[in-house]
Amino acid sequence: MKAHIVREPRCALLWRFDTASTGYEALERAARSCGVTLRTVGNGELGALVGDLCAGKPAPAFAPLIAVPERPALIVSGLSHQTGELGRFIDLVRESGADLPLRAMVTPTSKNWTLAQLLMELNQEHDAVSEGNA
């Protein structure tokens, strides 16, 4: 019996970062070179599961009424840390000049969170680290 290996989609969700943002074109080139699909997400996707968004599924017809901070975020799926491809992609993103203060890798836990939940968690972590460095 062969083992069935589930590969996560190679995707990067972009919150509050789009084609008009500084560094977007370089980020797009980095994604292309790493085989990553970019998907811009907004308020309409806040109620969708992160894993579903990465898989290209449409967002549910409803969105939660929650205020999510405007801080731009990059949420990456399907790249391996072990092979170095995640590090390579993040290095290219950093070199692109894109201002993405929140960066995260989709985990088995976070793929079942709504986008709103993940963004809130990332913002709380960012604020806690920023306070610790002040």
Show Cβ contacts of residue 101 under 8 Å, excluding neighbours closer than 6 positions. Answer: 71, 72, 73, 126
* Cβ atoms 60, 116 nearer than 8 A: no
* Per-residue model confidence (pLDDT) at position 2: 52
Whether 39 is covered by a domain: the verdict is: yes
Quote the pLDDT of residue 4: 45
pLDDT digits (tens, 9 = 90+) for 22-73: 999 999 999 999 999 999 999 999 999 999 999 999 988 877 678 899 999 9
Q: Phi and psi for 66 in degrees, rounded to 5?
A: -140, 140
- The answer to whether the CB of 115 falls within 8 A of the CB of 43 is no
64 is a domain residue: yes
Q: What is the pTM of this model?
A: 0.89
Q: Is the dihedral of CA 25, 27, 32, 38 positive or negative?
A: negative
| Pairwise pLDDT comparison (48 vs 3), residue with the higher score | 48
Cα 63 to the center of its chain, rounded Å: 18
Determine, yes or no, domain membership for 89.
yes
Among the listed residues 120, 119, 106, the one whose alpha carbon sits nearest the alpha carbon of residue 10: 106
Domain extent at residue 77: 12-114
Query: Contact at 8 Å (CB) between 42 and 17?
Result: no
Q: What is the pLDDT of residues 78-123, one digit of tens each?
A: 998 888 999 999 999 999 888 899 999 999 999 999 999 999 999 9
CB 132 within 8 A of CB 103: no
* Residue type at 92 in one-letter notation: L
Q: Is residue 107 part of a domain?
A: yes
Helical segments of the chain, H only: 24-34, 50-54, 85-96, 115-133
Domain count, the chain: 1
The pLDDT, as a whole number, for residue 8 is 82
Within a domain: 2: no
Output the pLDDT for position 134: 59
The answer as to whether 133 is a domain residue is: no
Domain presence at residue 5: no
